Structure 1
Amino acid sequence: MIGLPAVKVGNKLGRKKMVVSANRLELLQIADAVAREKSIDKSIVIAAMADAIQKA
């Protein structure tokens, strides 16, 4: 399907690991939508997303 992120599910050491690939535009659109919906500054949402991606 066009426009949807690629999803790969694998099994490592008995735990399911999911890898999701999204392009920069999609991530910015998600951050913008969350910021508007929750009335949070967009820079805070982007920083939280970046932190979560690094920890994943």
Structure 2
Amino acid sequence: MKPQEPDNLDELIADCADIPPVLTERKPVLPAPRPATRWVVDDAAVAQVAGIDEFV
């Protein structure tokens, strides 16, 4: 059964009053994400891919 749409503003307000509070409460604002840490490539990482061009 499809819910009936409100016909006027009073019905719309009454329908909105039936919305559970858990759906209308304001949620806390999340903090902004931290900036990403800059990548650092050391000699060990470079050694792991040394010669990869031969395999590709």
Q: Which has the higher contact order (CA 8 A, sep 6+)?
A: 1
Normalised by the length of structure 2, the TM-score is: 0.27
Q: Where is the helix percentage greater, Structure 1 or Structure 2?
A: 1
Highest CA radius of gyration, 1 or 2? 2
